[in-house]
Amino acid sequence: MGEKLERLKEHIGKVTDLQFAAAVLSWDQEVYMPENAVGPRSAQLATLSSMAHELFTSDTTAAMLEAAEAEVAGMDYDSDDASQVRVTRRIFDERTKIPTELVERESKATSEAFVAWRKAREADTYATFQPHLSELVDIQVEKAGYLGYEDHPYDALLNQFETGMKTAQVEALFNDLRTGLVPLVHEIAAQPPVDDSFLEEGKYDQQRQWDFTLLLLHDMGYDFTRGRQDKAPHPFTIEFGNSDVRVTTRLFDNRPQSAIFSTVHEGGHALYEMGSPDRFERTALAGGSTLGLHESQSRLWENQVARSLPFWRYYFPILRAFFPAQLQGISLEQFHRAINKVEPSLIRVEADEVTYNLHIFVRFELEKDLITGALKVADVPDAWNAKYEEYLGITPPNNALGCLQDIHWSHGTIGYFPTYSLGNLMSAQIYDMAREQIPGLEKGYTRGEFAPLLSWLREHVHSHGSKFTAPELMQREFGQTISAQPLLTYLREKYTTLYGL
Amino acid sequence: MGEKLERLKEHIGKVTDLQFAAAVLSWDQEVYMPENAVGPRSAQLATLSSMAHELFTSDTTAAMLEAAEAEVAGMDYDSDDASQVRVTRRIFDERTKIPTELVERESKATSEAFVAWRKAREADTYATFQPHLSELVDIQVEKAGYLGYEDHPYDALLNQFETGMKTAQVEALFNDLRTGLVPLVHEIAAQPPVDDSFLEEGKYDQQRQWDFTLLLLHDMGYDFTRGRQDKAPHPFTIEFGNSDVRVTTRLFDNRPQSAIFSTVHEGGHALYEMGSPDRFERTALAGGSTLGLHESQSRLWENQVARSLPFWRYYFPILRAFFPAQLQGISLEQFHRAINKVEPSLIRVEADEVTYNLHIFVRFELEKDLITGALKVADVPDAWNAKYEEYLGITPPNNALGCLQDIHWSHGTIGYFPTYSLGNLMSAQIYDMAREQIPGLEKGYTRGEFAPLLSWLREHVHSHGSKFTAPELMQREFGQTISAQPLLTYLREKYTTLYGL
C-alpha cells in the first residue's frame, strides 16, 4: 500500500474510533444507562458526533483523499486500495455536500419531531405531529437538492441508505413483487386460519426463552468472545469493530417466537459484521455494506433458515424439552404452521414474511409523493388508510395504528423503508445460490449444522466488507441483478405446501 | 458570570464529554465487554484520551484561561468563578508541564510493565519485573523534575493525587499514627483469636448477597435513577457526570462480608460524586476532590458506619432472614466481632481497619527512598520484607505475597498510596464532627436511618465538588488541619470494647 493511502487510513481510523465510542455510549443508553442520565449522555454524544464530523469533513481529509486518489489512479476498481479511496470519497462527498447549517437545522427539527411523534402516537393526534412532518419533509427536499440526483429527488435520499439504487428500479421491482404477492395473500386468506393459540396465549418462562436464544446464536456461529446479547425494548445490532458486535432481544411471557426470531434476525446482522475482514478494520470498508444487503443477511437467517421445517426438526424437540407443559401435544408440523401464520395486519414490525413487503410498498409510495409534493402532509392519514385497504384489505381504526406507527419519519428518515424489501428480495436470491452450491444444505439444519452456510456467506458476502454496493456485489458474486422472482417463487412454494393451496 | 469564563466553561465541557465517553468505554471494558475486543477498545480509548488531551492542553485553552483569569481577578478565592479558573489553571499547568515525549514514553513503559508485573506475580519472579520498575522509577523522577517541587521530589508526585499535601506533612502524620497503632496491634494480638469460621467457611447464595448489597445501597441514599451496580473482579466506582455514577462489587460463595463492605465502600465514593452540585457539571469543579477526600467518604461509610454495632442492630436480623441456615445460632455480638476481626496479614486489600495503615506506611517509605535513590530497585524485596516484619510482625514467604502484590507500581503510579491513609485520617475527623453535630446519629442507624448523615455530608463535603483541596476543605468546614488523633481515638475506643483490652 502506498504511503498516502496509509496516512489516509490512519486518519480515518481516528474518525472511526470516535464513531465507535459514540456507538458504545448509544448501546449503553439503550440497555443499561440509569434513567436520569439522559441529558448528560446527549451532550456526550453530541460532542463525539460533532468531533467525528469535523475531523472527517476537514480540509485535512480532503487533502489526504486527493493525494491517495493520485496514488491509486489506474488500479483495479475491485482492489482493496482503489476501493478504500473510492468508498471514502463517496462518504466524504455525501457529508460535505450538505451545509452545516442544514445539518444543524435537521438535528434540531428531528429532536423536536421525535418528542412530538411520541406524544401524537400516544394521544392519537396526527394534527400535532403534522407541522413537524411538514418541516422534516421540506428539509429532506432541500437535502435532496444538495445531494443531487439525475432522475428523481427521491433517488438522492434513497442513495444515502442503498447506494447505487434508483427510484425507478425500486418501482419496477416492487411492481413485480406486488403482482405476485397480492394473489398469494388472497389465496391464503381463503384458507381456514392457523391455530397459534398455544404460542399467543401461553406462558413461557423468560429465563428459559433467553437460554434458548443463546443456544440459537451459538449454533448459528455467533462468536461470544466477540459479542454478547442483552435485553432491549427495541431489538438491534450494534458493532464497535468486527471484534465487538452486540445483539439485543426482547422477551414476552407469551409469544416465545418473538424473542426467537428477533435473536436470529439480529444474529444474521451480527454474523455479517463479525465476518468483515480484519484488514478493513477502522477504515471505510469495514463492516456490512448497504442497508439492503444487511437486511438480506438478517432475513435469510430469520426466514429462509429459521422458519423452515428442517430447522425445527432439530430445534422443536429441544424447545419442547425447555417448555414441556406449554408444548404438550403440539406436533412439529403444528408448531411450524403456527410460526408461519400469514395474516394481514396493521403493524409492519409484526407482519409475517408474506405480507411484510406490502407494508413497505405503502410507505415507499407515500414517501415518493411527499418528496415530489404530489401528496400533501395533511393528506397522509387518508392516503395511508386507502393504501392499507388496497394492499392488505384492512383499514386502520386510528392513526396510532396507522401512519403514526413507525419511528422513522420522526427521525427525518425518508428513503430508508425500501431497503427492507430490497433485503428480502436479495435474501431469496442469495439463498437460492447457497442451496445450489452447498450440497445437503437444509439436511444439515436437521442436525443443527449451519457452519457450511456461514462459511459460504462469509466467502460470498461478508468477506467484501462494505467494498461493494448491493448491485455490484450481486453482479460479481452471483452474476445477477436484484429481482423479485426468487422471493416470489420461495414464498409461493413454501405457502402452497403449508396452506395446501 | 463573565463572558470569558462562560466560553472557557463551554470549552472545558467538551473536554469533559470526551473524558466521560472514555470512562463509559472503560466501565464497559471492566464489566461487559467481550474478551476479544481488547485490542480495538484500546485504540478507541487511546484516540479519546489523546483528543481530550490535545483539546485541553491546546493554545485555545491557554488563551481562554488567560482571558478568564483577567475577568475573575480580585474575586473571592472561594467564589465559584475564581475557583473555576484557579482549578482549571492548576490542572492545565500540571498537564502542560510534562512534555508529550515523556507522556508517550511513560504510556509505553507502563503498558509493558503491567504485562511483566502480571507474569512476575504469577511466577513469583521479581527479577523479571525489576528492569521495568527501574524504568518506571526513572520516569517518575524525571516527571517530578518537570512538575517541580520545593522540598522533596516526592512532593511533586504526591501532589498529583493529593493537591496541597507535602511529604514532610505526611511523614509527621504517619509517625503519629504509627506510634499509636503499633501498641494497639500488639495488645489485640495478645487476645484470643476471634471466631469468624461461620463467614470464612460458610456458603452464601450469591444472588441473596447481591440483593442484600442493593438494599444497603438503597438505604444509604444511593440514587438508582442516577446509577447502577454491576459485578467486577476488582470493585470500583466510576462516574460520567453526577447523574450517572456507577458502582461495582464482587461476590464469593463464602465471606459475604467481602461484597457487603465493598458495596458500602464504593457506595461512599458514589454518594460523594452524586452530591456534586449541578452547577459544576462539565467543569473542572465537578465531582469529588482529592483522592484522600474521596477515600474519607468511602471509608467513613465502610468503617465508622457499616462496621459499627448500631448499624448491625438493624441489619443483622435482615441478614439472618436472608441466610437463616448459615447464621443459625450466631448472635449480633458474635457477628460484629467477626466482621471486625483484627489480624496482621500480608495482603493490603484484605487488611482490617486497624492494620490497614501499616501496609500503607511500608509502601510510602519505600516509594520515597526509591525516588531519592536511597533505595535501589534491586533491594525492594528485602526492604519490603524487613518493614513487614517490623510493622506487622510477619515476613512474606515470597514476593507474590510481598512487593509484587499491588497493581499500582506497574501502572507507574508512585505517590498514590499515602492518600489511602490520609483518607482514613480524615474519615475519623469528619465522622467526629458529624457525631457532634447530628443529634442521635448512631441511634438512627438502629432504625436504618442514614439520611441525616448523608444530608450533613452533602452540606459539608459533597456540595463543594472539587473546589477545595483537602487541607482547604478541612479548614473551612471544620477548622481543622489533618491529624492522626481522631482515628487513633476511634480505633482505641472501638477495639478496647471489642477485645476487652
> Which of chain B's residues have a Cβ under 8 Å away from the Cβ of A13?
43, 47
Query: Residue B455, Cβ neighbours under 10 Å: how many?
Result: 14
CB A314 within 8 A of CB A445: yes
CB B371 within 8 A of CB B153: yes
- A2 Cα to chain B: minimum distance (Å): 23
- A50 Cα to chain B: minimum distance (Å): 10
The amino acid sitting at A422 is: L
Neighbouring residues of B345: CB distance < 8 A, sequence distance ≥ 6: B351, B355, B392, B394
pLDDT given at position B107:
87
Q: Which of B17, B35, B207, B228 to probe by mutation at the A interface, max A CB count within 10 Å? A: B17
> Which of chain B's residues have a Cβ under 8 Å away from the Cβ of A231?
none
pLDDT given at position B1:
75
Average pLDDT over residues A101-113: 90
The band of A335, judged by pLDDT with boundaries at 50, 70 and 90, is: very high
> Which of chain B's residues have a Cβ under 8 Å away from the Cβ of A24?
21, 24-25, 28, 44
- B61 Cα to chain A: minimum distance (Å): 17
Q: What's the whole-model pTM score?
A: 0.94
Q: Does A37 contact B281 at a Cβ distance shorter than 8 Å?
A: no
Q: What is the pLDDT of residues B133-168, one digit of tens each?
A: 999 999 999 999 999 999 999 999 999 999 999 999
Average pLDDT over residues A286-315: 98
Q: What is the pLDDT of residues B42-79, one digit of tens each?
A: 999 999 999 999 999 999 999 999 999 999 999 999 99
Q: Which of B12, B15, B16, B24 to probe by mutation at the A interface, max A CB count within 10 Å? A: B24
The amino acid sitting at B337 is: R
Q: How many residues belong to chain B? A: 501
- B248 Cα to chain A: minimum distance (Å): 14
pLDDT given at position A165:
97
pLDDT given at position B314:
98
Q: Which of B43, B47, B244 sits opposite A37 (nearest CB)?
A: B244
pLDDT given at position A111:
87
Report residues of chain B scoring pLDDT below 70.
none
Question: Which one of B266, B353, B365, B367 is the catalytic residue?
Answer: B266
* A207: contact with B, CB 8 A cutoff: no
Percent of chain A with pLDDT over 70: 100
CA dihedral A170, A173, A175, A180 (to 10 degrees): -150
> Which of chain B's residues have a Cβ under 8 Å away from the Cβ of A32?
32, 228, 230
**Nearest-Cα residue of chain A relative to residue B24:** A25
The band of A488, judged by pLDDT with boundaries at 50, 70 and 90, is: very high
Residue A121 burial by Cβ neighbours in a 10 Å radius (0-12, 13-18, 19+): buried
User: What is the Cα–Cα distance from A454 to A458, expressed in whole angstroms?
Assistant: 6
Neighbouring residues of A377: CB distance < 8 A, sequence distance ≥ 6: A130, A133, A134, A137, A370
- A18 Cα to chain B: minimum distance (Å): 7
* A39: contact with B, CB 8 A cutoff: yes
Q: What is the pLDDT of residues B72-103, one digit of tens each?
A: 999 999 999 999 999 999 999 999 999 989 98
**Nearest-Cα residue of chain A relative to residue B20:** A44
User: What is the Cα–Cα distance from B231 to B213, expressed in whole angstroms?
Assistant: 11
- B457 Cα to chain A: minimum distance (Å): 22
Strands B229-231 and A237-239: unpaired
> Which of chain B's residues have a Cβ under 8 Å away from the Cβ of A243?
34, 36-37, 39-40
Alpha carbon separation from A99 to A112, A147, A457, B315 (Å, rounded): 20, 10, 39, 62
**Nearest-Cα residue of chain A relative to residue B282:** A40
* A33: contact with B, CB 8 A cutoff: yes
Active site (catalytic) residues of A: 266
Q: Does B21 contact A44 at a Cβ distance shorter than 8 Å?
A: yes
* ipTM metric: 0.93
Q: Does A243 contact B40 at a Cβ distance shorter than 8 Å?
A: yes
> Which of chain A's residues have a Cβ under 8 Å away from the Cβ of B287?
none
* B53: contact with A, CB 8 A cutoff: no
The band of A107, judged by pLDDT with boundaries at 50, 70 and 90, is: confident
